[in-house]
C-alpha cells in the first residue's frame, strides 16, 4: 500500500494530499530511510513522521483498504511520541 494512502486510511493524517506533502518534503521515514508518498508500506514497517514540533513513531500492524473510524487505530501501534519545546 502507498504511504500516503496508509496514513489517510489509518487516520494518522486526515487528508491524503497533506500526507503526500509531508512525505514529499522528506519528513517521513520508513525503517530509517526517507520515504516518498508513493513508497510502499508493509506490515512490520516502522514509520517516523515529523509534524512541526511533534515526532511520531509507529509500527504498521495491518493494511486495510478501508476502515471505520473506530478501527483505524488497529492498523498501527504507537512506538514513541516526542515533542520539541518551542522557545
What is the model's pLDDT at position 87? 59
Question: In this prediction, what percent of the chain has a pLDDT beyond 90?
Answer: 87
Tell me the mean pLDDT in the region 45-66: 95
pLDDT confidence bin for 55, thresholds 50/70/90: very high
What is the model's pLDDT at position 38? 95
Q: Which residues pair with 21 in a beta bridge?
A: none
Tens-digit pLDDT profile for residues 3-26: 999 999 999 999 999 999 999 999
Q: Which residues pair with 50 in a beta bridge?
A: 55
pTM of the model: 0.89
Label each residue of the chain as H, E or C: CEHHHHHHHCCCCCCHHHHHHHHHCCCEEECCEECCCCCECCCCCEEEEEECCEEEEEEECCCCCCCCHHHHHHHEEEEEEEECCCC
Amino acid at each position: 500500500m502507498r504511504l500516503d494512502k496508509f496514513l489517510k486510511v489509518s487516520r494518522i493524517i486526515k487528508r491524503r494530499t497533506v500526507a503526500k506533502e509531508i512525505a514529499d518534503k522528506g519528513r517521513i521515514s520508513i525503517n530509517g530511510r526517507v520515504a516518498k508518498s508513493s513508497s510502499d508500506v508493509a506490515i512490520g514497517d516502522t514509520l517516523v513522521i515529523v509534524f512541526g514540533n511533534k515526532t511520531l513513531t509507529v509500527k504498521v500492524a495491518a493494511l486495510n483498504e478501508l476502515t471505520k473510524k473506530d478501527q483505524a487505530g488497529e492498523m498501527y501501534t504507537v512506538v514513541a511520541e516526542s515533542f520539541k519545546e518551542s522557545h
